[in-house]
Homo-oligomer: A and B are copies of this chain.
Amino acid sequence: MNGWVAVAGLGPGNQALITPEVSAALAAATDVVGYFPYVARLPARPGLVLHPTDNRVELDRATHALQMAAAGHRVVVVSSGDPGVFAMASALFEAVEKGEKGWNRLDIRILPGITAMLAAAARVGAPLGHDFCAINLSDNLKPWALVEKRLRLAAQADFAMAFYNPRSAARPTQFARTLAVLREECRDARPVIFARAVSTAEEAIRVVPLPDALPEMADMRTMVIVGSSTTRLITRDGVPWVYTPRGAA
A201 at the interface (CB under 8 A from B): no
A132 at the interface (CB under 8 A from B): yes
Task: Give this chain's copy count.
Answer: 2
Whether the Cβ atoms of A131 and B141 lie closer than 8 Å is no
On chain A, the number of residues with a Cβ less than 8 Å from chain B's Cβ atoms is: 77
Whether the Cβ atoms of A118 and B85 lie closer than 8 Å is yes
Whether the Cβ atoms of B114 and A19 lie closer than 8 Å is yes
Shortest distance between the CB of A240 and any CB in chain B (Å): 9
Of A19, A87, A111, which is in contact with the most chain B CB atoms at under 10 Å from its CB? A19
Whether the Cβ atoms of A248 and B119 lie closer than 8 Å is no
Partner of A156, one of B96, B112, B153: B153
Whether the Cβ atoms of A86 and B159 lie closer than 8 Å is no
**In the bound complex, what is the Cα–Cα distance between A86 and B243 (angstroms)?**
12
Shortest distance between the CB of A237 and any CB in chain B (Å): 7
Instruction: Tell me whether A150 and B141 are in contact in the complex, defined as CB-CB below 8 angstroms, given that A131-B136, A237-B105, A244-B90 are known contacts.
Output: no
Of A28-36, A121-129, A174-182, A216-224, the one with at least 4 CB within 8 A of chain B: A121-129
Contacting residues of chain A (60-119) with chain B, CB-CB under 8 angstroms: 82-87, 89-94, 96-97, 104-105, 108-115, 118-119
Closest to A235 in B: B104
A17 at the interface (CB under 8 A from B): yes
Whether the Cβ atoms of A243 and B118 lie closer than 8 Å is no
**In the bound complex, what is the Cα–Cα distance between A158 and B119 (angstroms)?**
26
